[in-house]
Structure 1
């Protein structure tokens, strides 16, 4: 599901970039860095998270996808200094095989890590997105996630300002319970923030 105008403005704002740096710090604390890794990112938006994956986590390459084609020109400008280390494409997080096919990516066990900076809660069939994440990860690969839960989405401010799917939204507990069903083990590598509104964690592919 595409973001509305208000959320698009927020995602492209300096406060969101500052917050992503904090989120990246928490995720690195929970799951470590990914030096030299081949990484996929779902929902790259304007590329702020992609840059953190390269600089903060040390990834060698990133294949990044976003459903909104309007986001990609912003991301390309921001990520141009990284050259061939970054490949960007328009597509769905529920079909990474098709999205990453031009880059010889998206196959089973392709990536050392997958990053999700708050995109899965936008996806109506979010369980399918988790299944795709698990499919493309190598055994032992890590899934870094930063998510907005149903607790936050039910708040009046979220309902007034932003558009999200209204059915089958996950709480932090429901998201964590779904991960092992797809071969992703999180253990104690997760944190919630602001009364369970936000969930950050790292799961490892069996």
Structure 2
């Protein structure tokens, strides 16, 4: 699996020239919890205009609490939290060290989906990064399979899975059996990239009605229309 190792590009921090608000600190914690985000994610998270998001993000970059990088030529840049940003925000997770090129677009889509789920249903969520570091609720995912996130909604714990490609039958069965034996999750929602993936899941759905599938692009498009 190809990965980009994020070199230490951080320069000496400009001290006492930027007053960080609680909103800034919460933003830094959130970005570090998911790893990296785009400006659109920041806009959605803070519910502010894109120009305002750019201004605030630029200040955090200038004072070395955030790093702005372009992973792919011609694609939108991403923001990640620096070591100083982690320290000042009190984030329990370490600063992100590497980005997997294989899961780059998947990871961004998971963040987009999580924000849309919160906008539609409310509640809160625990990211995969939090789950893997043992800082999620009750350390979900510490043994066995780790979902892409967990939606906490009305006393329910809903495992969220974003499926953009087919898995082998063996791997699919392993994940399915994990959810059958794991009573931490009341439901599992699969957001599928295409109909072929949905069809691959059908045999498992017949045995587990708590697992549901949704076409991810249709869900995001419907939610986008509702926000206009």
- TM-score > 0.5, shorter chain as reference: no
Tell me the TM-score normalised to structure 1 length. Answer: 0.36
Which structure's residues are more often strand, by fraction?
1
TM-score where L is the length of structure 2: 0.34
